[in-house]
């Protein structure tokens, strides 16, 4: 049986770099369930302001965003992107109060500990170290924080990216602090994500008596044909280790009576697609596959999330810098992955801006007893410190 040592403060923690633990506990204490910032962004703004950042906070439709900037003069422009919002937590099954940040067996417990207040706390410590001596630094560093990543993300990082574009700011690279690691911190980073697209399909047939099917068009039978066509699409533009998959998520035929051919069927499906595609390509493939059924179908597309991908580039390569920092701290190169759900990285990635996600382990995210070991926090802080030092030291 496991013995639990529950501590509610960091005082009995003898490990170094306690600031990262204290910051994480502070952040967990803000009940920032999407889209409420609940003081978390105010606190971050205060911290960054004290370090010399210019901060701009703006709220739209209940979502709070923060753009904080420090410039060391000419040079590349890099950003850290993160979210302080969390999914809800119901206290009854937790070892500790989910917004307490209590330490259990040398891990910080709480909603958001891994996704992704831990990353934010570690980046804050790394940023403090970066700002200790700014004499020989170059470039500009942005912090881009939102309170709506876990929700619809309509007014979060999308608006931040638009704001930067309006100001004529083009990022050279962006580090996203999402939890990407698998078994050990730094073993996996994400240099892209698959895209996602949902659809709602109305299938129209013609009702009639089941005994006289020649006079009807059976919407249930049509739906079977649609499922077959959708699931047989050959996604030829898939990239290696980034496969497209389409899953039908619902089929609904209302008012089923046993002597009547149904006239209508509603179907929903979701596509997770390789970075070899953009959402427009996916729509084209699906419409082509459904071809001659078009007269009986109406498709409404929902919740599109574009794919993105960052390859290595010749000079000033953020991907190489992150790989190098991980190697320095952990002794191993990270695995590059594009798996998992969507992330805010998609709002910043483009043909110029490299986007790399690198963070703590994701084994407990969105779960009861979400937690992050203190040793992992210290490791990710070291990785971030190394990355920042490499990026801004001339
Ligand atoms: Zn997250």
The active-site residue out of 85, 178, 306, 357 is 85
| pLDDT of 13 over the 60 cut | no
CATH 3.40.630.10 positions along the chain are 6-193+307-392
pLDDT digits (tens, 9 = 90+) for 340-352: 888 899 999 999 9
Q: Which of 149, 178, 323, 344 is catalytic?
A: 149
Which residue intervals of the chain bear CATH 3.30.70.360? 195-305
Interval between CA 83 and ligand 1 midpoint (Å):
7
Confidence at residue 250, expressed as pLDDT on a 0 to 100 scale: 97
Which CATH number is correct for 6-193+307-392, 3.40.50.300, 3.40.630.10, 3.40.140.10, 2.60.40.10? 3.40.630.10
| pLDDT reported for residue 51 | 98
**Helices and strands (H and E) in the chain: how many:** 9, 20
CA of residue 266 to ligand 1 center, whole Å: 32
From the CA of 249, how far away is ligand 1's center (Å)?
A: 24
Given this model, what pLDDT does residue 241 score? 81
Token pair recorded at residue 390: 């490499």
138-149 pLDDT per residue, tens: 999 999 999 999
Instruction: Look up residue 330 and give its two tokens.
Output: 């952990």
pLDDT the model gives residue 132: 96
Q: How far is the CA of 392 from the centre of ligand 1 (A)?
A: 26
- Judge whether 285 and 233 are in contact, CB under 8 Å: yes
**pLDDT number for residue 92:** 92
> Residue with structure tokens 């910043």?
348
pLDDT level of residue 5 (50, 70, 90 thresholds): low
Active-site annotation holds for 85: yes
Report the separation in Å between the CA atom of 391 and the middle of ligand 1, taken as the mean of its atom positions.
24
Mean pLDDT of 268-278: 95
Q: Rounded CA gap, 345 and 180, in Å?
A: 13
pLDDT tens for each residue of 46-93: 999 999 999 999 999 999 999 999 999 999 999 999 999 999 999 999
Tell the CATH topology of 195-305.
Alpha-Beta Plaits (3.30.70)
CA of 161 to the centre of ligand 1 (A): 17
Q: What is the 3-state secondary structure (H, E, C) of 275-342?
A: CCCCHHHHHHHHHHHHHHHHHHEEEEEEEEECCEECCCCCCCCHHHHHHHHHHHHHCCCCEEECCCCC
Q: What spacing in Å lies between the alpha carbon of 114 and ligand 1's midpoint? A: 8
CA of 156 to the centre of ligand 1 (A): 13
DSSP 8-state secondary structure symbol assigned to residue 94: -
Is pLDDT above 70 for 9? no
Contact 219, 264 (CB under 8 A): yes
Catalytic residue status for 149: yes
Instruction: Give me ligand 1 centre to Cα 180, in Å.
Output: 10
């Amino acid at each position: 049986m496991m013995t639990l040592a529950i501590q509610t403060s960091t005082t009995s923690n003898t490990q170094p770099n306690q600031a990262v633990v204290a910051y994480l506990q502070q952040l967990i204490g803000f009940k920032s369930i999407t889209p409420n910032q609940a003081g978390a962004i105010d606190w971050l703004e205060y911290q960054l302001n004290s370090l010399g950042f210019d901060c701009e906070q703006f709220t739209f439709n209940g979502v709070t965003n923060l753009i904080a900037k420090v410039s060391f003069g000419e040079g590349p422009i890099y950003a850290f992107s993160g979210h302080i919002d969390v999914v809800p937590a119901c206290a009854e099954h937790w070892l500790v109060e989910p917004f307490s940040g209590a330490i259990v067996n040398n891990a910080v417990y709480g909603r958001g500990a891994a996704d992704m207040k831990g990353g934010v706390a570690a980046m804050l410590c790394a940023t403090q170290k970066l700002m200790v001596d700014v004499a020989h630094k170059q470039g500009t560093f942005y912090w881009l924080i939102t309170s709506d990543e876990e929700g619809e993300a309509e007014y979060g990082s999308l608006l931040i990216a638009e704001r930067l574009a309006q100001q004529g700011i083009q990022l050279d690279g962006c580090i996203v602090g999402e939890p990407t690691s698998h078994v050990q911190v730094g073993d996996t980073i994400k240099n892209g994500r698959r895209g996602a697209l949902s659809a709602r399909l109305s299938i129209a047939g013609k009702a009639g008596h089941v005994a006289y099917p020649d006079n009807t068009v059976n919407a249930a039978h049509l739906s079977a044909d649609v499922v077959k066509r959708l699931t047989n699409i050959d996604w030829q533009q898939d990239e290696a280790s980034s496969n497209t998959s389409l899953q039908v998520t619902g089929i609904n035929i209302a008012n089923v009576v046993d002597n009547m051919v149904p006239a209508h069927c509603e179907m929903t499906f979701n596509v997770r697609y390789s970075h070899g595609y953009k959402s427009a390509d996916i729509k084209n493939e699906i419409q082509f596959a459904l071809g001659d059924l078009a007269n009986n179908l109406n498709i409404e597309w929902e919740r599109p999330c574009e794919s993105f991908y960052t390859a290595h580039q010749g000079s000033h390569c953020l991907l190489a810098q992150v790989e190098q920092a991980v190697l320095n701290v952990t002794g191993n190169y990270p695995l590059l992955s594009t798996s998992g759900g969507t992330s805010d990285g998609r709002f910043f990635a483009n043909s110029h801006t490299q986007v790399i996600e690198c963070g703590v382990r994701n084994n407990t995210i969105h779960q009861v007893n979400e937690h992050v070991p203190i040793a992992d926090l210290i490791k990710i802080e070291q990785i971030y410190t190394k990355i920042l030092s490499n990026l801004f030291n001339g």
